[in-house]
Structure 1
Amino acid sequence: MSSRSIHERLVALEKQMQAAAEAMDFERATALRNEIARIRGEAPVQEGDPDTVTVSQPPPGAMGLGTQVPVRQPPKGWVKPKKPDLMTKNVKPRGGR
């Protein structure tokens, strides 16, 4: 699709979304909003869904304690590897003892 046809499609979808919202058909308006976000390449907004947390890099200067940046969670089933025993691992034997 050309950029002009995409723009025309977005304008038409936005008008339909406005009409659906004015007619109190919020489910249709939500579906149209998600379609607009999909065409624009944005992630659709999902309110109240705790499984969809968007994690990104914090803006400069917003790192540290007290920020509202979510912490990345490891995938399910991932187990933290054991720490090596520093007294016995990676130690080369000395001479001919």
Structure 2
Amino acid sequence: MSARTNHERLVALEKQMEDAAEAMDFEKAAALRNEILRVKGEGQGEDGEPLVGQPPPGAMGLGTQIPVRQPPKGWVKPKKPDFLTGRKPKG
């Protein structure tokens, strides 16, 4: 998605959240708030862990504020190919 599309979606979600709060439908407003946070990358996953976390200062270089993304549960790093023999790894 482009930044413009994301911005338009966030504006629409915020308007829906405000309308739901005015209508006293707080459950819908809370669900929309969570969706807004998810789109912004500030929400929490199913396990309560943040979707994107900030590394400790200096972990990714001095002065950087690059968010660290965690791989999904059960993800296994693929094996590297053997460039000397040109064969694919077994398994």
After TM superposition, the score normalised by the length of structure 2 is: 0.49
Higher-Rg structure is 1
After TM superposition, the score normalised by the length of structure 1 is: 0.46
